[in-house]
Amino acid sequence: MRAPKSFFVENGLAELGLSGAVFDFPPEEMERICNRLDANLAELETKGARIRGWVYADTPDAANAATMVNIPTGLVNLVILSAAIVAAPSIGKNLSSVTVAQLKLARDNLLFFGKRIPQYQRNTNMPVGSGNQVWADGVQFYVNRPPRLDAGPDAHLDPDMEIWNGDNNIDGF
């Protein structure tokens, strides 16, 4: 979702019940909340959860509320609730338990479900045991042996067929 940072701050204040009071806020207060929101999202990034598309300020005092950010739609609620949590203490508003629970769920989704789980495979020099059953179907831990080649009956071969003709490009024979 492409929007200015002030959009997320305004919606965060609306979460606190101050949707009509957003226009009474001085620009310095909006900048301060944007700075705190930048710090909060940077804290999440240090834990391994990157919010793609969020533009951080270069210096602590230079968070511009008009800066356009382009974050994934699934993370909009997280940013709005983070803005509400950041703004509430300085405004003197109490947070509802629903807001705190929603933010916790959104953070958990970002921290745990967005990570790639490393996958490992057992090495092939381990002895064959109960975990590697050759007759079992599906993915095995070890490299499967190539299938055995059986000659079988000769009934399906055409006796007039030229097996070794000159078109075979076999070197060394």
Whether 114 shows a pLDDT value over 80: the answer reads no
pLDDT, residue 28, reads 85
What whole-number distance in Å separates Cα of residue 136 and Cα of residue 171?
40
Contact by Cβ (8 Å): 106, 81: yes
Q: 85 pLDDT exceeds 60?
A: yes
Q: How many CB atoms lie within 10 A of CB 35?
A: 19
pLDDT of residue 79 exceeding 90: yes
In tens, the pLDDT along 142-167 reads: 555 556 655 555 555 555 555 555 55
pLDDT tens, 35-66? Answer: 899 989 988 888 878 888 898 887 777 768 88
Confidence of residue 68 (pLDDT cuts 50, 70, 90): very high
Q: Annotate 45-84 with three-state secondary structure.
A: HHCCCCCCCCCCCCCCCCCCCCCEEECCHHHHHHHHHHHH
Q: How many CA atoms lie within 13 A of 146 on its CB side?
A: 3
What would the two tokens of residue 36 be? 């705190």
109: pLDDT confidence band, cut at 50, 70 and 90?
confident
